Structure 1
Amino acid sequence: MTEFVGSVVDVLWSPVMIYFCLGVGLLFSILTKFVQVRFLKDMVKLMFEGGSSKEGVSSFQALALSLSGRVGTGNIAGTATAIGFGGPGAVFWMWAIAFIGSASAFIESTLAQIYKEKRDGEYRGGPAYYIEKGIGWKWYAVLFSIATLIAMSILMPGIQSNSIALGLENAFGLSTTVTGIGLIVLLGVIILGGVKRIAGVASYVVPFMAIGYILLSLVIVGVNFQAIPDVFSLIFSSAFGANSIFGGILGSAISWGVKRGIYSNEAGQGTGPHAAAAAEVSHPAKQGLVQAASVYIDTLLVCTATAFMILFTGSYNTVAPDESTIVSNLEGVEAGPAYTQAAIETVIPGFGAGFVAIALFFFAFTTIMAYYYMAETNIAYLMKGRSAKVGMMVLKVVILAATFYGAVKEAALAWALGDIGLGIMVWLNLIAILILAKPALAALKDYEQQKKQGLDPVYNSKKMGVKNAEFWEGDYKYDKNKENAS
């Protein structure tokens, strides 16, 4: 089973995929004239503008919901794994894919807003919706929707719950079975409340956990401040094969950096658009910019925090593709959360294991919440009326079962299954947004023109000549009386 899964991962994540992801991100960066740099100020400002409504959530809640999906196990275990198999240079390639990938995130999230619709009193949208409405390929939209449903409800929750269970077992000796039961009880209470409860929990938990984690990394960097020049030199020299120790694994540095970078920040994967579509905004480009910023927050802040803790304390091992040892600073320790735990222990003895276990719990648990919302959105796409309600009840049972099973199964298999789910979604979504980029690029141009005129940009799909974007056919009006005070 493990060998078969591994062979599928090798096909999906071949060098073709790596260069495809980098190429698409670079293309969108050029076509948008590097929107991720030009509109950095707008990204920050728009996070906190607007409010929620009966139909949608606020921009900040949508950001928190998407970040709950982006900020997960990949930020701790994924970053450590990238260093473990790609060396310090993998960190640079994680930064690179985040920078250019934020342009991909802008395109896909703007498209999600353009082609969103109201179903059962809530805004729904995402790749399946914009593929069908924008390209007209119903079969392709259904294929993506089914792939996402399987990935989000069956394949990927196990990675998150597995990391939580192992972290708590290592730190506190808690049985993985007990952890699994606790997770499904807590998750069940939250997902029964729907998108409003999920977004509400995310908007409180995500900022708290991210800020606390970053602050601790700054403490560790501060204690080891004299190593700053050496660490940055190590990252950059290893990234381009110039380091004598890591020069022989340049291909692994690029491959693992890009793969784990995409797994963490999800740019171009098609997950972010689900949350983006739920936001109450006056112009699609607004939420596109907010979602582009979420990639920065995820990788340039949280993943970097993990990388710095590990590299500044030298708490890592690196293994070459032929399984020969390149660096062995932690004898017998496998790549994963244990690297971060060891790093913290060097500065605050007795604190590392517990802190990482708790951080993993918050990071990974909120990611499972986001997975459920994305799966639910695709159930809403595939089914209507009574059948959709039945489908959502079945979905709740399935994702709870997958979460429990993931808490007690083999870690290597959990990661491999997650890589399959992610790989399928990335391939399908990147092809779609390449074909459908024009409306998103036009929306950015329209947003920019209105800003230059001193206006608060609003969008009208008829004036823009965009078909099948029914939500935006009239002039946008936000009724503050509808605002959800919660």
Structure 2
Amino acid sequence: MESFNAALASFNDGLWLYLVVPVLAALCLYFTVRSGAVQIRLLPDMFRSVVGKSAPAPGQKPVSSFQAFAISAAARIGTGNIVGVATAIALGGPGAVFWMWVMGLVVGAASFVESTLAQLYKVKDGKDFRGGPAYYMERGLGKRWMGLLFSVVIIVTFSFVFNSVQANTISGAVGTSAEQILGETPGWLAPVVGVVLTAVVAAIVFGGLHRIANTAQLLVPLMVVLYLGLGVLVVALNVEKVPDVVGSIVGSALGFQEFAAAGVGTAISQGVRRGMFSNEGGLGSAPNAAATATVSHPVKQGLVQTLGVYVDTLFVCSITAFIVLVSNPTYGENAGPTMTQQALQSSLGDWSLHLLTVILLLLAFTSVLGNYYYGEANIAFLTRRRGAMTAFRVVFLVIAFLGSIGSVQLVWTLADTTMAVMALVNLAAIAPLSTIAFRLMRDFTAQRKQGLDPQFTRDRLPGVRGIECWEPREHEPEREDVLAR
């Protein structure tokens, strides 16, 4: 089994380095140029959109922009922000952080495109909305087979594999704190954690989309503030080291300094790959959450999800990097999983490990909820059978329990492969559909210049089929019809 895992890991390295990363980087640069750097140029609108109020139809209880943002952030901001970033530094040196930042800025364009398209092609599901890559593959490209492939892959990757990984992280974090307090980890602890986790998750997911959205809206800001506060405290206590840390990040990234076996190529590979793992831009996961929001224009949620990439990469991942680097870490393949914990302990003492346990619990728990919803949206795409959703929920909960008590090394390696497939299928879809996203962007900015709150109805996009929602409303103010041009 170990030899198979090693062979698969080697295959994944080549797949990401020579196919996924070049394709993603090339498309993100194209989107950036084509959109006039929308991910930077419309930054003020991102903040306006994330706090904007929804205008629901009569009888509708909407999911707000912020709630949709919170659902995607719940899945985005997970243990990868702590363990994954540390692993990237361990293998790629401080320079990996620089390339993670670059990737975060560039990939924002892909996040904008995919989430704007998810809003445009969303469908009604009772009083709520559903959507995502599978839906714009079917409705925008007319390729249902492509949507079916994507749906199966995202369910396997997020709802099954990542679900077990996050459940295992929760169990492991509790076990680590228990060992610190008791001197050992009781054998009964993991099963008990698994039962409690399964029960709490069941109470939320069987409550539907709004219960998931409300939980994410409550917990995501809490965990982000807690972790950022912890990181700022570490940096403040080591403020004299910050200039050297910044110098090592830039120097290692550009080849002026070498760390361990990490050359520039390794730094780029680790930074780009871990950056995408963390912020999920272009991967096709966040659009499933973006489609749930009730907004007046698709571009608004595209901008909100781009902001999510920045929160994940430029804030949460960066604070992990500084926590690790101010502690003068030892680099190497085996150092990654424990680097953050060791760095916190050396700066703040043993109590910080228990606070990190609480943060890991929040990170992993909210990721479980986000991963669940991605599966729910795609189960609904695959089949309308009433029992299918219930069966999916039961399987999801069983996997959460098994993940709490088992080992997940092999499934994590398999996730690398399925994530690569997800990314390639999604990128193949948004490349041709990006033209529509940029038409929507021009309409949005034109309305802004008129001093209007941008509104969209499907009659403003003549000749484009597959749009189910966005019915025209009466008494709309006069707006320059940019889309019809």
Relative to the length of structure 2, the TM-score reads: 0.91
1:282-314 deviation digits (Å, cap 9, x = unpaired): 000011001100000011000111111000112
Question: Which among 177, 190, 203 is matched to residue 189 of structure 1?
Answer: 203
**Preserved CA contact (<8 Å) 2:260 2:331:** no
**Preserved CA contact (<8 Å) 2:253 2:264:** yes
Match of 1:335 in 2: 336
Higher alpha-carbon deviation: 175-184 or 95-104: 175-184
Are residues 1:14 and 2:20 paired? Answer: no
- Distance in 1 (CA, whole Å) between partners of 2:266 and 2:52 is 42
Question: Which among 32, 37, 40 is matched to residue 29 of structure 1?
Answer: 32
- Distance in 1 (CA, whole Å) between partners of 2:258 and 2:70 is 42
Call closer, same or farther: CA 1:277–1:458 in 2, change over 3 Å. Answer: same
AA aligned opposite 1:67: A
Question: Which among 264, 273, 281 is matched to residue 295 of structure 2?
Answer: 281
Higher alpha-carbon deviation: 163-172 or 358-367: 163-172
Counterparts of residues 412-423 of structure 1 (less than 5 Å)? 412-423=409-420
Once the 2 structures are TM-superposed, how far is the Cα of residue 372 of structure 1 from its aligned partner?
A: 0.7
- Distance in 2 (CA, whole Å) between partners of 1:473 and 1:188 is 36
1:406-446 deviation digits (Å, cap 9, x = unpaired): 22333432421322232221111011101211111100000
Are residues 1:208 and 2:222 paired? Answer: yes
Are residues 1:228 and 2:242 paired? Answer: yes
* Secondary structure in structure 1 of the residue aligned to 2:140: helix
**Preserved CA contact (<8 Å) 1:160 1:365:** yes
Once the 2 structures are TM-superposed, how far is the Cα of residue 148 of structure 1 from its aligned partner?
A: 1.3
Match of 2:191 in 1: 177
Question: Which among 105, 112, 123 is matched to residue 118 of structure 2?
Answer: 112
Once the 2 structures are TM-superposed, how far is the Cα of residue 3 of structure 1 from its aligned partner?
A: 3.8
Call closer, same or farther: CA 1:358–1:417 in 2, change over 3 Å. Answer: farther
- Distance in 1 (CA, whole Å) between partners of 2:106 and 2:170 is 30
Match of 1:58 in 2: 64
Once the 2 structures are TM-superposed, how far is the Cα of residue 180 of structure 1 from its aligned partner?
A: 2.0
Any unmatched runs of 5+ in structure 2? Answer: 180-184, 477-485
1:79-106 deviation digits (Å, cap 9, x = unpaired): 1111111111111111111101111100
Any unmatched runs of 5+ in structure 1? Answer: 320-332, 479-486
Once the 2 structures are TM-superposed, how far is the Cα of residue 467 of structure 1 from its aligned partner?
A: 1.8
Call closer, same or farther: CA 1:171–1:294 in 2, change over 3 Å. Answer: same
1:358-388 deviation digits (Å, cap 9, x = unpaired): 111101110110111110001111112xx1x
Once the 2 structures are TM-superposed, how far is the Cα of residue 13 of structure 1 from its aligned partner?
A: 1.9
Once the 2 structures are TM-superposed, how far is the Cα of residue 316 of structure 1 from its aligned partner?
A: 4.3
AA aligned opposite 1:379: I
Are residues 1:143 and 2:149 paired? Answer: yes
Call closer, same or farther: CA 1:146–1:414 in 2, change over 3 Å. Answer: closer
- Distance in 1 (CA, whole Å) between partners of 2:426 and 2:311 is 22
Question: Which among 77, 95, 101 is matched to residue 95 of structure 1?
Answer: 101
Question: Which among 66, 69, 84 is matched to residue 75 of structure 2?
Answer: 69
* Secondary structure in structure 2 of the residue aligned to 1:317: coil
- Distance in 1 (CA, whole Å) between partners of 2:471 and 2:92 is 49
**Preserved CA contact (<8 Å) 2:91 2:262:** no
- Distance in 1 (CA, whole Å) between partners of 2:122 and 2:475 is 16
Higher alpha-carbon deviation: 397-406 or 76-85: 397-406
Are residues 1:154 and 2:168 paired? Answer: no
AA aligned opposite 1:204: L
- Distance in 2 (CA, whole Å) between partners of 1:170 and 1:164 is 10
- Distance in 2 (CA, whole Å) between partners of 1:52 and 1:305 is 36
AA aligned opposite 1:447: F
* Secondary structure in structure 2 of the residue aligned to 1:472: coil
Counterparts of residues 292-311 of structure 1 (less than 5 Å)? 292-311=306-325
Match of 2:389 in 1: 392
1:122-173 deviation digits (Å, cap 9, x = unpaired): 2010000001111111111111111112222222212212222222211223
CA RMSD in angstroms comes to 1.9
Higher alpha-carbon deviation: 254-263 or 292-301: 254-263
Once the 2 structures are TM-superposed, how far is the Cα of residue 73 of structure 1 from its aligned partner?
A: 1.1
Once the 2 structures are TM-superposed, how far is the Cα of residue 264 of structure 1 from its aligned partner?
A: 0.7
AA aligned opposite 2:467: A
AA aligned opposite 1:122: D
AA aligned opposite 1:23: A
Match of 2:182 in 1: none
1:310-338 deviation digits (Å, cap 9, x = unpaired): 0011234234xxxxxxxxxxxxx6422x2
Once the 2 structures are TM-superposed, how far is the Cα of residue 349 of structure 1 from its aligned partner?
A: 1.0
- Distance in 2 (CA, whole Å) between partners of 1:80 and 1:165 is 20
AA aligned opposite 2:343: A
Higher alpha-carbon deviation: 36-45 or 248-257: 248-257
**Preserved CA contact (<8 Å) 2:118 2:291:** yes
1:426-473 deviation digits (Å, cap 9, x = unpaired): 111011101211111100000000000111111122222222112124
Match of 2:353 in 1: 353
* Secondary structure in structure 2 of the residue aligned to 1:313: coil
Match of 1:407 in 2: 404
Question: Which among 235, 251, 260 is matched to residue 265 of structure 2?
Answer: 251
- Distance in 1 (CA, whole Å) between partners of 2:291 and 2:341 is 37
Q: Give identity over the alignment, percent.
A: 38
Match of 2:481 in 1: none
* Secondary structure in structure 1 of the residue aligned to 2:332: strand
- Distance in 2 (CA, whole Å) between partners of 1:398 and 1:476 is 46
